[in-house]
């Protein structure tokens, strides 16, 4: 058996990797290509590997699932020690003595090979295929290959590949910025990335930033809204990730006092209504939407709207608007409002009924307190009252 080894971080695996495997198999009549995601690559010890090993592995599994002779090799991932190629290959040689191995490397690695750990031991275990793009000058590579072959008594050969200009770094960058990567990765890998929200902005970072901006009790409330909103999103088939972000950021402007909020709104050119002037605390919703975009980099209008309308609501609320509005009211740390048990029950049964009940209770509460009633709260109430024939 002739076996090609394609090691890599595969973060994510892309069409260039798959194609390289195919070229190697065809040009050198290999029986199998082992795709081997690395666990602890020595040269990347300091670099944060972007997606967890589990995801890198699953993406490879999907990318090669329908390719004859392509095999997922988990040896390095399961190996607890740092992965040195010479050790991995010595292991394969020992376990599969009858196999001939072809270790596939890129052009860059060809020029770094001397700095690897024990290159002289590596070359004893396998043929090395140095991939180069056929639009590049080969002289330099040929010189390096002869040099290394002589120095180590190695069998290094050129592996001609077409010019596929794809890199995992660029794919991660494009995904982060919402650009298309569809012709750079297999469809199945794309689906997997979407399903698991890989390579999008790190929510942990966002969470820490919110935490820093809020008092502890407020942050506890925020986490309660996140949890509740995600449950509701799941039940009502709303994108859970969007609900999570909207919930996390819904009170992100709440750390500022009323006067500060007024000043910020003026500074950022946000309109201030009469009700908001009289009770600047109402501004934290629209200021929150502004900051979610400006400070937290959220562009999604559905998320921004859910934040913008979370205090007053609005007529014709979207499902995510409703979920944030309701979660804000019923999250587990809330215990003041009357009738909470009934409202919590309603949330699981009928979003509109629940919404209406909260609006009604809020207006009643504001009236007893003689507090400013934002016309939008009133309008929202009337809209849902009519809609539900109350
Ligand atoms: O920011 P939170 O305290 O988590 O929640 P929120 O943004 O929904 O604010 C809740 C308060 O908002 C609650 O005490 C009712 C009040 N509210 C809702 N509509 C109006 C309102 N307050 C005034 N003054 N006017 C309104 O129209
Ligand atoms: Fe709020
Ligand atoms: Fe809130």
Answer for the pair 309, 317: CB distance below 8 angstroms, yes or no: yes
Q: Which atom of ligand 1 is nearest to the CA of 365?
A: 15
Is 50 exceeded by the pLDDT of residue 102?
yes
Determine the Cα–Cα distance for residues 103 and 115; give it in Å rounded to an integer.
17
Strand ranges of the sheet holding 127-133, from the earlier edge strand across to the other edge:
70-72, 32-37, 2-8, 100-106, 127-133, 156-161
Q: Residue 136: what pLDDT?
A: 64
Determine the Cα–Cα distance for residues 22 and 162; give it in Å rounded to an integer.
11
The pLDDT tens digits of the residues spanning 224-233 come to 999 999 999 9
Is 60 exceeded by the pLDDT of residue 319?
yes
Lowest mean pLDDT among 43-47, 278-282, 307-311: 43-47
Q: Residue 289: what pLDDT?
A: 97
Q: Which atom of ligand 1 is nearest to the CA of 221?
A: 4
Q: Which of 332, 357, 362, 374 to mutate to test the pocket of ligand 1 (most atoms within 8 A of CB)?
A: 362
Lowest mean pLDDT among 55-69, 71-85, 257-271: 71-85
pTM exceeds 0.75? no
Percentage of the chain beyond pLDDT 90 is 79
Q: Domains, the chain, ranges and CATH? A: 2-187 (3.40.50.620), 202-387 (1.10.3210.10)
Q: Which atom of ligand 1 is nearest to the CA of 371?
A: 24
Ligand 3 is an ion; its neighbours by CB within 5 Å are 251, 328
For the residues 181-208, what does the mean pLDDT come to? 89
Does the beta carbon of 214 lie inside 6 Å of ligand 1? no
The pLDDT tens digits of the residues spanning 37-48 come to 998 655 554 444
Q: Which of 218, 228, 332, 366 to mutate to test the pocket of ligand 1 (most atoms within 8 A of CB)?
A: 366
Q: How many A from CA of 311 to the centre of ligand 2? A: 6
Q: To the nearest 10°, the Cα dihedral for 354, 359, 360, 362?
A: 120
Nearest CA to ligand 1 atom 13: 362
Nearest CA to ligand 1 atom 1: 251
Does the beta carbon of 312 lie inside 6 Å of ligand 1? yes
Which of 201 and 3 is assigned the larger pLDDT? 3
Q: Which atom of ligand 1 is nearest to the CA of 376?
A: 27
Ligand nearest to the CA of 247: 3
Instruction: Please state, as a whole number, how many other Cβ atoms lie within 10 Å of the Cβ of residue 345.
Output: 12
Is 80 exceeded by the pLDDT of residue 128?
yes
Determine the Cα–Cα distance for residues 164 and 322; give it in Å rounded to an integer.
47
Q: Residue 357: what pLDDT?
A: 98
Q: Residue 46: what pLDDT?
A: 44
Which of 276 and 180 is assigned the larger pLDDT? 276
Which of 133 and 265 is assigned the larger pLDDT? 265
Q: How many A from CA of 235 to the centre of ligand 1? A: 25
Query: Given pLDDT bands bounded at 50, 70 and 90, which one contains residue 28?
Result: very high
Determine the Cα–Cα distance for residues 17 and 63; give it in Å rounded to an integer.
10
Q: Residue 211: what pLDDT?
A: 95
Lowest mean pLDDT among 25-34, 74-83, 288-297: 74-83
Q: Residue 234: what pLDDT?
A: 96
For the residues 195-216, what does the mean pLDDT come to? 87
Does the beta carbon of 286 lie inside 6 Å of ligand 1? no
Which of 284 and 208 is assigned the larger pLDDT? 284
For the residues 176-197, what does the mean pLDDT come to? 90
Strand extents, DSSP E, 113-167: 127-133, 156-161
Cis before 12 (ω within 30): yes
The pLDDT tens digits of the residues spanning 333-366 come to 999 999 999 999 999 999 999 999 999 999 999 9
Computed over every residue of the chain, the mean pLDDT equals 92
The number of CA neighbours under 13 Å toward the Cβ of 235 is: 14
Q: Residue 197: what pLDDT?
A: 84
Does the beta carbon of 328 lie inside 6 Å of ligand 1? yes
Beta bridge partners of 299: none
């Amino acid at each position: 058996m002739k076996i090609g080894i394609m090691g890599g971080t595969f973060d994510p695996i892309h069409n260039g990797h798959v194609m390289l495997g195919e070229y190697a198999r065809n040009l050198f009549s290999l029986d199998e290509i082992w795709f081997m995601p690395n666990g602890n690559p020595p040269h990347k010890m300091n670099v944060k590997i972007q997606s967890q090993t589990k995801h890198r592995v699953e993406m490879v599994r999907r990318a090669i699932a329908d390719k004859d002779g392509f095999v997922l090799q988990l040896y390095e991932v399961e190996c607890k020690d740092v992965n040195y190629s010479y050790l991995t290959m010595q292991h394969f040689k020992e376990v599969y003595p009858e196999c001939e191995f072809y270790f596939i490397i890129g052009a860059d690695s060809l020029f770094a090979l001397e700095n690897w750990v024990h290159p002289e031991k590596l070359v004893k275990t396998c043929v090395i295929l140095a991939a180069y793009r056929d639009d590049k000058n080969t002289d330099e590579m040929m010189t390096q290959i002869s040099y290394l072959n002589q120095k180590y008594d190695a069998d290094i050969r050129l592996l001609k590949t077409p010019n596929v200009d794809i890199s995992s770094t660029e794919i991660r960058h494009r995904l982060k910025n919402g650009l298309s990567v569809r012709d750079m990765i297999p469809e199945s890998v794309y689906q997997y990335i979407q399903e698991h929200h890989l390579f999008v902005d790190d929510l942990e970072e966002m969470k820490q930033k919110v935490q820093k901006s809020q008092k502890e009790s407020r942050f506890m409330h925020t986490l309660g809204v996140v949890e509740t909103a995600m449950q509701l999103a799941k039940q009502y088939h709303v994108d859970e990730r969007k609900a999570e972000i909207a919930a996390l950021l819904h009170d992100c402007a709440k750390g500022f006092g009323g006067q500060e909020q007024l000043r910020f709104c003026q500074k950022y050119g946000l309109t201030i209504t009469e009700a908001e002037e009289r009770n600047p605390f109402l501004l934290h919703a629209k200021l929150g939407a502004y900051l979610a975009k400006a400070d937290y980099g959220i562009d999604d209008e559905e998320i921004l709207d859910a934040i913008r309308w979370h205090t007053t609501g609005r007529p014709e609320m979207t499902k995510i608007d409703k979920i944030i509005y309701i979660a804000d009211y019923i999250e587990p740390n809330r215990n003041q409002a009357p009738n909470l048990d009934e409202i919590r029950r309603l949330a699981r049964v009928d979003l509109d009924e629940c919404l209406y009940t909260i609006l009604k209770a809020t207006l009643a509460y504001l009236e007893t307190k003689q507090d400013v009633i934002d016309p939008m709260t009133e309008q929202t109430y009337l809209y849902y009252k009519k809609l539900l024939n109350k």
